[in-house]
Amino acid sequence: MNNFTAALASIRRVKSEGVVKDYAIGGAMALAFWSEPIPTFDLDVFGLLVSLEPIYDWARRNNYREEAEHIFIAGIPVQFIPAHNALAEEAIATAAELDFEGQPVRVIRPEYLIALYLEPGARTHKRLERAAALLEEGSVDRGLLDTVLTKYNFKLPNYE
């Protein structure tokens, strides 16, 4: 089992042990499931949780090293990010159930990744480039994307 697969197995335990209600992989690592992989430092895990304290308690019980906002699981820096609004909660609730080397993994759908990238506080040049890359790949359900963008009052930039 490689480090990423081991980390995914541990992250699933966070849910099965009741530390979080639900979770989904987000950020740059989620892009690898929908588009071309891009370099990233860590694995972002969006979670339905009230506080990060249960996550850090779980990490200590399992002898995972903490460093700043990361927990090192199988050598991979993992950042648990609480769902910060209704869009993030919906992104987690509707995450795709995928397979990575025999391990089930919940991944935020590309339509929701795009919407999260368009949030005012997250709308950076780098994230807009990621949104454009997802649109180019063709894995985006344009109907669902339009529904999500309308619901949260976001507009795609003009990529032409």
pLDDT tens sequence across 77-130: 999 999 999 999 999 999 999 999 888 999 999 999 999 999 998 888 989 999
DSSP 62: T
Q: Is 3 left (phi over 0), alpha (psi -120 to 50) or beta?
A: alpha
Look over the chain and give the mean of its residue pLDDT values, rounded to a whole number. Answer: 91
Q: Residue 117 falls within a domain, yes or no?
A: no
Which residue range forms the structural domain that includes residue 12?
3-108
Output the domain CATH number for residue 48.
Answer: 3.30.460.40
**Beta bridge partners of residue 82, listed in sequence order:** 47
- pTM value? 0.90
Q: Residue 46 falls within a domain, yes or no?
A: yes
Q: Give the Å distances, CA to CA, from 143 to 2, 111, 139, 146, 150.
A: 37, 9, 12, 5, 11
Compute the half-sphere exposure of residue 25: CA atoms within 13 Å on the CB side of its CA: 27
Distance CA 48, CA 82 (A): 6
- Is the pLDDT at 160 greater than 90? The verdict is no
Q: Residue 20 falls within a domain, yes or no?
A: yes
The total number of structural domains in the chain stands at 1
Q: Residue 160 falls within a domain, yes or no?
A: no
The fraction of the chain above a pLDDT of 70, given in percent, is 98
DSSP 35: S
